[in-house]
Amino acid sequence: MKPMVKRHILAAGLASVCLALSACSSGKKEATTENFARAVSAALERSDAQCYRIDDLPVEYPVAKIEALRGVSGGPDGLEALSRAGVLAETDTTVKVGSVRVPGKRFEKTDAGKRFIDDKGRLCYGRLALDKIVGWTTPWSTAGVTETIVTYHYRLEEQPDWVRQPAVQKAYPDMGKLIAGAGRTPLRMPLVQTEDGWVSEQ
């Protein structure tokens, strides 16, 4: 093969590679379900587990206070629900109130519960993952930055068995709503277009 022909073939090959790379780069920036799913999934993988702040443990409460706050969201009766679920251990004790000691309850982590309660006193019960993309706003540009807001349905992964107990979900209604909404409650995430595709700034 003559040198000139070889150079033409090489140039044509390089041009094809450049066009392919350009098309791939451009494709990542398109407003498509696939691109948005990739961006939302990556953001959810980086996010923290779903957690609910409870008391610093161990903790003691007078029985009278537990009864007075029964049914209040995040109240100490939620600790009773967690003890029945095996996350906490509940024991009878006496608690000092003023100058006297009154009947009380002591709550502390069980060995099983240590897996779900971190050092910040947060009860963690799963991680969000993408179920499907539902829709998105028409992308708009401001000061050279192109953005959109994506709506999606989520799954709750790595959730322990105890989160399904009605008493736990009743005591911590925000947790219950998140669990019940998996696969049907829409969430929204802003995305920004970059040279490498769409990304979340969350």
Domain limits, the chain: 30-50+125-200, 53-122
Amino acid of residue 25: S
Omega of the bond leading into 190 within 30 degrees of 0 (cis): no
Kind of pairing between the strands at 145-157 and 187-194 = antiparallel
Tell me: the pLDDT tens digits for 124-157? Answer: 999 999 999 999 999 999 999 999 999 999 999 9
Tell me: the pLDDT tens digits for 148-164? Answer: 999 999 999 999 999 99
Q: What is the pTM of this model?
A: 0.77
